[in-house]
Amino acid sequence: MKYSFIPVAVISTLLLVSACSDANMQKDEQGNYVVNTTDLGKEVKGFAGQTPLAVTIDKNGTIVNVEALPNSETPEYFRSVEGKMLQDFVGKNAQSIAEVDGVSGATFSSRAVKNNVQLAVDYYQQHK
C-alpha cells in the first residue's frame, strides 16, 4: 500500500481558501472580505428593481468600501445615493449601519442599499 504525504501547510491553505471563497464572498489582496449581494439580496428591491452591492469588510468587521453593482434604478436618482450614501457606510460596523441616513428623493433606492449592506454584514459575520 502506497501512502501520499501532503504537507500540513498545503492542507491548511486549501481549507482556508475553501472556507472563505464562495459565490457571495471573496477575499481581496489586502485580506478584506468582499461580499456581493447579487444573490443574497434578490428580494431587496429599490424603485426599479434589484440594487446589488459589493461591500468590502476588514477583519475587524468594519466596512471599508461599498460599491454599487449594475442595476436598473433611475440613474439621476441613484447617482445621489452613490455620491453620498455609499460613502457614509465606510468606517461603520454592524451596530452602526442604522445610523446611515437615506437620500431625500431616492427613498426606495436608499432603503434597498441599506438592506443590502445589512445583508452583506450579516453574511460576513456568519461566514468569515
Q: Is 15 domain-assigned?
A: no
Q: Does some domain include residue 12?
A: no
Please report whether residue 114 resides in a domain: yes
In a domain, 122, yes or no: yes
Question: What is the model's pTM?
Answer: 0.82
Provide the residue range defining the domain that includes 70: 23-127
7 occurs within a structural domain: no
Q: How many CB atoms lie within 10 A of CB 31?
A: 9
Q: How many domains are there within the chain?
A: 1
| 5 located within any domain | no
CATH number of the domain enclosing 47: 3.90.1010
Alpha-carbon distances of 45 from 38, 52, 72, 109, rounded to whole Å? 11, 9, 10, 8
Q: Is residue 90 part of a domain?
A: yes
User: In a structure prediction context, what are the per-residue pLDDT tens digits for the chain, which is 128 residues long?
Assistant: 444 444 444 344 344 444 455 889 999 999 999 999 999 999 999 999 999 999 999 999 999 999 999 999 999 889 999 988 999 999 999 889 999 999 998 999 999 999 999 999 999 999 98
